Structure 1
Amino acid sequence: MSLALVVDDDPVTRLVLCHMLRSRGWTVSQAADAPDAVGMVGETPYDLVISDFHLPSGTGVDVLDAVERAESSPAFLLVTGILEHSSLSAEIASRITAQLTKPVSSEDLGAALDVLFPPKRE
């Protein structure tokens, strides 16, 4: 079973992303801000971390820094609004595994997951 962490300060967005992941068979944890997420990434071997860019006590880049330090090397998917998407530096863009723009649809999330975690062929 795959383990994901969803980080977003908006409870509705967080719950929707968690629901979409669970419907695809993921076990999901959640955090509402950067410090909680950083602590969780340091303690748990996640396969995927999905983080909003703007958080109350930091940014998704703070979460990305923790992901890059994690022994489990989880994939990192950044969720941004349209304005943040266009203003991300090339350095940050090169560090993220994938990016989606809000509002995230089930189809867009599914497509990103299929790229990050290709289905196993038998």
Structure 2
Amino acid sequence: MPPKTQQVVSVIKDEEMFLNLISSENKKLVLLDVHPDWCGPCEMMHPTYKTLQTSIDDFEKRVDIYTLGYSKIVTYKHDKFNREPTSKPRFVFYQDGRLVDEVQGADIPAIIERVYKYLPMVY
């Protein structure tokens, strides 16, 4: 029987959690699924996230994937997200406390390419 894998996507619950994730102290690649509140997280991405989880060695030590609604960004007053929300999700990539890339819409090949491009080494 294959080993049980942990949940791939988590929800950002508060500003402190958000700031800790995008802190330079976090050495993992952080992928944020930023979505319209009325739409919810992009469910079509879950199979892709699961595939990444099973195909990347030490995934849990290297990548964090979270969802975050646009209204929370406004609440957190985070300048890097000062954009008008659209009906499309945005996939935002953080590494070492810096916003390094983003993908507009559920462009699965582009998202996978960015994950591998910014994937940190195993420590």
The interval holding the TM-score normalised by the smaller chain is 0.3 to 0.5
TM-score after normalising by structure 1: 0.37
Find the structure with the greater CA-based Rg.
Answer: 2
Q: Greater helix percent: which structure?
A: 1
